[in-house]
Each structure stands twice: as C-alpha cells, then as structure tokens.
Amino acid sequence: MSSFSQCWLNANDGTAWVMLSSSIMMLYGFLLSNRKLMWKILLFHSVSGIVAQLIQVTYLANSNCKLGYSLDILLGFNEVSWFINEATIVLYSFFKAETVTYVILPKTVNIILRVLLGIYLFACVAIRIYVGYIHARDKVLWNNLIGANLGISYLASAAIDVVVIAMLIVAASKYVRAENSRSSAINIIFRSSVLRLIVMNVVQITLAVVVLIPNPSPSLVTFRSVIWLIRGLFTMILLFDIQSTHSLLVQKLYTSDNTV
C-alpha cells in the first residue's frame, strides 16, 4: 500500500466513515426511488457529503504525513460542498412541511416564509465563502475564526428548523379534530418530523455553542468530536425519514402532485 493510501486511511475518523457510508446508502435509496423533488434534494445532500469528506480527509492525510501537496485552495473551495450538504437538510425539512401547510397558510405568509428561506441561504453562502477564504489564506483546517463563523451558520439552520416546526404545528392543529385519511397522514408526518427536527436542532445548537468557544480544552475537543459524529448521522436520519413518510405524502396528501 502506498504511503498516501495509508495516510488517507489513517486520516479517516469515525465521523468521516459514518458520513460516507450514510451518503452511499442515500444514493442507493435514490436509485430505488421515484426520483422526484424530495429525493433530488437528498441526492444533492449525499453527493455533497461524499465530496466534502473525501476532500477534507485528503487534506488531513496530506498534512499529517507531510506529503507536500498544496491543497489549501481545494480545501477553501470545499466549503461549497459543505454549504450544499448543510442547506439541503434545511430545504428538505422546509419543503416537506410546505407540502402540508401550503394550502393552509395565507399566500402572503407562504411568500414571507420563502423570503426567510432565501435570506438564510444567502447568509450561509456568504459565511461559507468567508470560511473558504480563511482556509486558503491561513492554510488551516480549523481555527477560532472558522469556528465562530460556522457556529453562526449552525444557529441560522436551527432558527429555520424552529420555523418549520411552527409550520407543522399549524397544520396539525387545523386537522386535529378531523377524522379522515388526510388528518391521519398529517398527524403521522407531524410526529415524525417534529421529533426529527427537535433532535437535529439540539445537536445543531450544541455544536454551534461548542465551536464558538475559543481555545477549547482537550475534553471539550473530545466532546466536539462526539457531537460531530452524531451530526454525521443526519444523512441516515433523513434516509429513514423519507422512506417512512414519502409514500404517505404521495398517496394520502397530494396524489395528483407529481413534484413530491
């Protein structure tokens, strides 16, 4: 085995393997799906996750073994992959909730929600561009400035998740007393989505707080690694979520809609 191959394998930690395996499983799920909008969002999520991890691990292998390759610019551009990976999680949750709430909420409210989503995406793009610039300028994978900016990005994602939870609560409350297949479907989607969003939100907020702390102690670094590992399971959680509720969306909510 070549020295680079050995260094590359040694640079793969638990988080990298979890993300890579989860993303590959998502790709397999996409191939077996109807490949409509929700699945296409998760396709971008899984592909960007694979690309981001491969580049990051390659950079680590090059640094740890002092192989001499100049990969700082590549690491900077890798923030595009991380942005897509993070944004598609939010887009999936938002559009899934919107399929339930679009016919319930006033048109003005729907427009405001989409504007908020656009502002979030624009802000995250700006943050990731700046983080990529820091990677290339300082030639580092991590420092306090990178942590501070990523913490803000994670908090923004958590804020959008709170908005999505509110959307689902509105939908569930409208049909809480109805006794039909539509209300049953909405209640199932509400329970599964809210639980998923709460768990992911707690992880996002915890990660944001941890990365915002400058000069962390060794124990805090270890804790941060554990939170990163849990976040690496997000792709698997999304796969289970769409597998369990996608058919419900198609069959009971919008059987005439070919975009779900």
**pLDDT tens digits for range 41-66:** 999 999 999 999 999 999 999 998 88
Q: What is the pLDDT of residue 138?
A: 94
3-state secondary structure string across 159-228: HHHHHHHHHHHHHHHHCCCCCCHHHHHHHHHHHHHHHHHHHHHHHHHHHHHHHHCCCCCHHHHHHHHHHH
For residue 207, pLDDT beyond 90? yes
132 in helix, strand or coil? helix
* Residue type at position 211: V
> For the whole model, what pTM was predicted?
0.93
Residue 51 CB partners (closer than 8 Å, separation 6+): 78, 81
What pLDDT digit, counting tens, does each position of 169-192 carry?
888 887 765 556 567 767 777 888
What pLDDT digit, counting tens, does each position of 74-110 carry?
999 999 999 999 999 999 999 999 888 887 888 999 9
* Cα gap 233→165, rounded to integer Å: 20
Question: How far is Cα of residue 92 from the mean position of the Cα atoms in its chain?
Answer: 9
- Which of 11, 7, 24 is closest to 57 using CA atoms? 11
Q: Are 97 and 169 in contact (CB under 8 A)?
A: no
Q: What is the pLDDT of residue 181?
A: 59
DSSP state of 249: I
pLDDT bracket for residue 255 (50, 70, 90): very low
**What is the average pLDDT value for the chain, to the nearest integer?**
88
DSSP state of 105: S
Among 36-45, 141-150, 157-166, 171-180, where is mean pLDDT lowest?
A: 171-180
Higher pLDDT, residue 4 or 197: 197
* Residue type at position 93: S
